[in-house]
Amino acid sequence: MKYDFTSIEKKWQKFWEEKKVYRVDLNNAKEKLYCLVMFLYPSADKLHIGHWYNFGPTDTWARFKRLNGFDVFEPMGYDAFGLPAENYAIKTGVHPQDSTDRNISVIREQLKTMGAMYDFDYEVDTSKPEYYKWTQWVFLQLYKKGLAYRTNAPVNWCPKDQTVLANEQVVDGLCERCGTPVIRKAMTQWFFKITAYADKLLEGLERIDWPERTKLMQRNWIGRSEGVEIQFKIQNSQFKISVFTTRPDTLFGATYAVLAPEHPLVQEITKPEFKSRVDEYVEFVAHENEIERTSTTKEKTGIPTGAFAINPINGEKIPIWIADYVLSTYGTGAVMAVPAHDERDFEFATKYKLPIRIVVQPKVATGSNTVAAEPLLAAYVDDGVAVNSGNFTGQESEKVWNGIADELQKTGAGRRKVNYRLRDWLLSRQRYWGAPIPIIHCESCGEVPVPEKDLPVLLPYDVEFRPSGESPLARSEKFVNTACPKCGKPAKRDVDTMDTFVDSSWYFLRYLSPHLDSAAFDKKLVEKWLPVDKYVGGAEHATMHLLYARFVVKALQDAGWLSFDEPFQSLVHQGTITNQGAKMSKSRGNVVNPDQFVNGYGGDTFRMFLMFMGPYDEGGDWSDRGITGVFRFLNKVYELFESSKGAAVQSKTEFKIESLNESERKVYRRLNQLIKKVTEDLEQFRFNTAIAALMEFMNDYTQIAAGGEVGREVQNYVLQSFNIILAPFAPHLAEELNEMRGGETSIFASAKWVKYDLYAIEEESVTLVVQINGKVRARLTVPVNSSDEEVKSISLAEPNVKKYLDGKEILKAIVVRNRLISFVVK
RNA sequence: GCCGGGGUGGCGGAAUUGGUAGACGCGAAGGACUUAAAAUCCUUUGGCCCCAAACGGGCCGUGCGGGUUCAAGUCCCGCCCUCGGCACCA
C-alpha cells in the first residue's frame, strides 16, 4: 500500500471531531495549559501560508505538551469586525456580515485540514452579538473607572475617502486604501486612558517571558522620560509658559523658547505687530499633511511672536518663537531651546541666526572631543562639566541636573516630572463594521452609559455603510433615536463603533465560556486557566494588540474582575514568510495558497515542511523547493511501518543495554539520543532541528536494521517510540500508524511521551582530532572518557602526527575531554 | 538619524555557546531498475592543489579589514550590506 495521505487525513479529522478527542474538561483539568495563537482576521475567504506557519507549528508544540500529560486548551476564533470586510462591501455591495459569515465557514473547513487540536465548539466570533455584547460591557467597566473619556482631538482624515482612518491605516502619511496624503482634523473622539497605566505596563514587562526585542519595543513605545517642568514668566504679561525638559542642566544655555503652532497661548502672547504673520504661519502649518509635518529631513520652519520669556534661573530675557518642530501633543507643547546642546535647536538656531551659548564642556577636553569656542559645528549633547552656568559652573552634569531641579523646585519655578511618549488609545471609529459604543447622549443628562441589562446595543443590519464623512450609524434613524435611560426623554445613541483592537483585547477570556450569556467570562474558569501559558503570533502586534490587551487586563483587574494583571505569561513570535522579498498581500498579488500543497502532499507534509524550512522565529522567503524532502521522509516512515504491520502495539519500553547485541545497542542508543534531542528542541520551538534529527534517525535505523541483526522486541520498541515522537509533527499519519500497530484509540488519548534513558545515550567511543599549532593533522577514535595521558600517547603514534612533530619541541599539549588534543610546537 | 535582528556551499539551513565548519533537506552529476518515463535505490557534491592511484596528503574558506587565543562562524575593535521597529518625544 502506498501512503494515501488524502484518505488518511480525512479519516482522522473525522475521527477527532466525532470522538471529541481534544475536548478538555475545563473545570477539572489537573495540569492546565492554555496554548493560544492570535485569532484569525477573516477578511479573505482563504487561509494563507502565514496562518499555517503560525498555527501548524504551535499545534505541534501543543500536542507535544499534551503527550506530556498536560490538559491542553487550544482554541481558535475570528477577529471578524474591521475595515477590510467593510471595504470589500463598499466595493462589491456584499454586506460585511454576509461576507464574513461566508468566509468563516470556508476558513473553518480549511483549518480542519491542518490537523490542529481545535475544538470548534469553543470558537469566538467578535462580530456576533453574543460576543460584542461583552465588548460593550468591557467598555462600560473602563468607563466606570474613568478610563474611557470623550474629547476633541486631532485625528487622521483622508480627504478623498471622506473618512477618518485608524492609525494603522496610515502608511507613511498616506491613506492605505487610496494613497492620498492624510491630514489632521480635530474631532470629538473616544479615548481609553492607557497612559494612566504607563508605569504598570513598564513594570509588568519585568515579570513575563517575552522576546527581549518585543519588550524593548514596548518600552520604547511607552517612552518614559524623567525631566523637569519649568515655568517661564512672560514679559509684561500675566501668562506663563511651561516647558518640559530632560536637560535642566542646560538651562543656562536657553537662548529662546518655542511653542507649538497649536499651543493655546499663541494667540494670547503674540505682539500685535507680529499677529498677521503668526496667524498666517499657524494656518500654513495646519495645512501641512502628516508627511510634511513629521518628516525629519524637512527643514524646520518658525516665526517669532514678538513676546519674551524670562529664564527663571538667571532672569534673562529670551524671545518666544513658534515652530513646526515642536509637537503640541507631547509634554507641554512648548520647549526651551538650548541650541548648543540639542541637535534640533541647533539646526533651528543656525537657520534663524539665534544665539548659541555653550554651557557644557566635555569632561576631558582633548582632541576632537573638545568643544571649541563658537561657532559650533554641531550640538554637543553628551554630559560634561558646566560652564557659563552661574554658581553651577565647574560641576558635573549630573550634579548640575539635580542642583538646578532643586533650585527651581524651591523657588516654585519648576518641578520634577515624568513624561511618556505613549498617547491615550483613540478607540472610536466612524465606521459601520464594529461594535457600537454603548453610550447615549441626552440633552438634559449629557453622556449616559447604556445600562448593562440593556446590552447589547445591536448593530443594525440595514444601514447605508458607504463612507460620506459621518458615521454610517448616524444615518440609521432607528438606531440613533432612543430614550435616555436616566430621564426617559428622547435621546441619541453614540454613532461611533469601537476599534477592533478592543474586541481582541479580551477574547482570550471569552474562549473558556464562549456561549455564556450571563457574563463576559466565567470567572472561575478564567482564574483557573489564565494567564495564557503560551501565546504565539506575529511581531507586528508588539505595540498594538499586545499592549492594548495588557492594558485592558490591568484595568479589569483594578475594576475587580480579575486577579492577575498579565494576560500572556510566555510569548513567541513566528517569523514572517515573504514572497520574493515582499510581504504577501492581496494587493501585491503574491499570496501563495496553501491548498495546492495540502492537496498535493497532505497537511502533515505541509505543516512539517513549514517547520523544517528554518528557525521558527526567523521566517523567510517562500519557496516550495524542498517540500519533496519531507514528503519522501513521511513516505519512508509509512513504508517502514507498513512492512512491519501486525507488530504488537504494546511493547517493552526499557532495555538493559548490556543485554543487547551490537546492532541493537546502536539502535537503542540512537533512539534515546533522538528522544532527548526532539524533547529539548520542541520545548524551545526549534522544529527544524528536531525534524532533521528524526530524518537522521530514520536513515541510520533503516541502515542498521537492514543488517538483520535487530530483534523483534527492539524493532517494536523503536517503532512504538518513534511514532509517538513523530505524532506532534504529523498527527494524521501517526494515528494511522498507531492503528496499523493495533492501537484502538487516538494516540493522543492513549500514549505518553517517551522518556529517554540517560545511561543509554552515552557513546562508547568518540572521534577526536589532533591539532598541531592549530591545524587538524589527524582524527582518532578512542573509548569515551579516555584519560589525557592515553589520548596523548595514542595521538603521538599517528603517522601524520609523527610527521609534523618530527624535529620539533612540544611546548604544550592541551586536551579537551572527548573533543581534541592540541599540541603547540616549535 | 536612533534602537533591534541577521549575513555560513548552487539553494533552505546545522554547529553542544571558544573545540572536527557545512548536520538534515533540496538541487545537480553519474549509475542501477524499466521497452521508456515517473517513482525508488546506490555513489559523488565548498573551492583550489599534490599524487599513477587511494576510502592518502596539503592550502584556502563562515560579509570586509584588523586583533585576542594552542584554537574564532562563535570573543574584542573598525567598516559594509540587509531586514524589522521608531522617527523632530525636547
Is-contact A609 A630, C-beta < 8 A? yes
- In whole angstroms, what is the distance from residue A325 CA to residue A259 CA? 9
A779 Cβ nearer than 7 Å to chain B strand: yes
Distance in angstroms: CA A395, C1' B67: 38
Residue closest to sugar C1' of B12 by CA: A613
Specify the nucleotide whose C1' lies closest to residue A578 (CA).
B83
A293 Cβ nearer than 7 Å to chain B strand: yes
A688 Cβ nearer than 7 Å to chain B strand: yes
pLDDT tens digits, one per residue of A706-720? 877 888 888 889 999
pTM to 2 decimal places: 0.93
Distance in angstroms: CA A626, C1' B30: 22
| In A352-476, alpha helices (H) | 397-411
- In whole angstroms, what is the distance from residue A702 CA to residue A687 CA? 23
Residues 415-434 of A with CB under 7 A from strand B: 419, 421
Q: Quick one: pLDDT at residue A369?
A: 43
Q: Quick one: pLDDT at residue A367?
A: 42
- In whole angstroms, what is the distance from residue A272 CA to residue A307 CA? 10
A615 Cβ nearer than 7 Å to chain B strand: yes
Specify the nucleotide whose C1' lies closest to residue A329 (CA).
B89
A254 Cβ nearer than 7 Å to chain B strand: no
Residues paired with A232 in a beta bridge: A241
Count CB neighbours of A58 within 10 A. 24
A581 Cβ nearer than 7 Å to chain B strand: yes
Q: Quick one: pLDDT at residue A366?
A: 47
Distance in angstroms: CA A794, C1' B50: 28
Residue closest to sugar C1' of B5 by CA: A213
Is-contact A822 A774, C-beta < 8 A? yes
The helix (H) or strand (E) run that includes residue A80 is none
**Grid coordinates standing for A673?**
539520543
**Grid coordinates standing for A682?**
520542541
Residues paired with A245 in a beta bridge: A228
**Grid coordinates standing for A352?**
534663524
Distance in angstroms: CA A29, C1' B30: 60
Specify the nucleotide whose C1' lies closest to residue A244 (CA).
B90
**ipTM value for the complex:** 0.94
Given a cut of 70, the residues of chain A with pLDDT beneath it are 1, 166-168, 171, 176-177, 289-297, 364-375, 646-651
Q: Quick one: pLDDT at residue A290?
A: 64
A586 Cβ nearer than 7 Å to chain B strand: no
Whole-angstrom CA distances from A228 to A111, A234, A802 are 55, 19, 74
Nucleotides of B under 7 A from a protein CB: 1, 3-5, 11-16, 19-21, 23-27, 39-41, 56-60, 70-72, 83-90
Residues 216-235 of A with CB under 7 A from strand B: 216-217, 220-221, 223, 225, 227
Q: Quick one: pLDDT at residue A646?
A: 62
Phi, psi of A532 (to 5 degrees): -60, 135
Look up cell 479519516; give the residue. Answer: A11
- Residues 6 or more apart whose Cβ sits within 8 Å of residue A126: A77, A78, A79, A80, A81, A132, A135, A435, A500, A503, A504, A507
Please tell me the number of Cα atoms within 13 Å of A23 on its side-chain side. 9
Residues 476-515 of A with CB under 7 A from strand B: none
Distance in angstroms: CA A580, C1' B62: 25
Distance in angstroms: CA A806, C1' B18: 29
Q: Quick one: pLDDT at residue A579?
A: 86
